Structure 1
Amino acid sequence: MAEPEHTPDGHFVIINGRRWRATDPEIPTEPAARLRSLLMTARRDVGAALRAQDAEAERDARGRVQLAKVALGERGTPWWEQTASQRRQRWQDGLDALDHHGRPNE
Structure 2
Amino acid sequence: MTKPEPQDDDHWLVINGRRWRRTDPALSDDLVEALKSHLGRGRSAVGVSRRAGDDVATAAARKRVGLAKHGLGERGPRWWDSEVEDRIARAREALAELEKLD
TM-score, length of structure 1 as denominator length:
0.86
Instruction: For 1:80 and 1:94, locate their aligned partners in 2 and report how far apart those are by CA, in whole Å.
Output: 18
What is the total number of aligned residue pairs between the two structures?
96
User: Deviation per CA, 1:32-91, whole angstroms, max 9, x where unpaired?
Assistant: 011111101000000000011001000000001000000000000000001011101110
SS in 1 for 2:26: coil
Q: Which AA in structure 2 matches 1:86?
A: D
**How far did 1:15 drift?**
1.1
Q: Equivalences for 1:1-106 in 2 at 5 Å? A: 7-8=8-9, 10-101=10-101
Instruction: For 1:85 and 1:30, locate their aligned partners in 2 and report how far apart those are by CA, in whole Å.
Output: 16
User: Which runs of at least 4 in structure 1 moved beyond 4 Å after TM superposition?
Assistant: none
TM-score, length of structure 2 as denominator length:
0.90
CA RMSD for the aligned pairs?
1.1
Gaps of 5+ in 1: 1-5
Richer in helix (by share): 2
Instruction: For 1:84 and 1:69, locate their aligned partners in 2 and report how far apart those are by CA, in whole Å.
Output: 17
**How far did 1:93 drift?**
0.3
What's the counterpart of residue 3 of structure 1?
none
Gaps of 5+ in 2: 1-6
SS in 1 for 2:13: strand
Instruction: For 2:26 and 2:83, locate their aligned partners in 1 and report how far apart those are by CA, in whole Å.
Output: 11
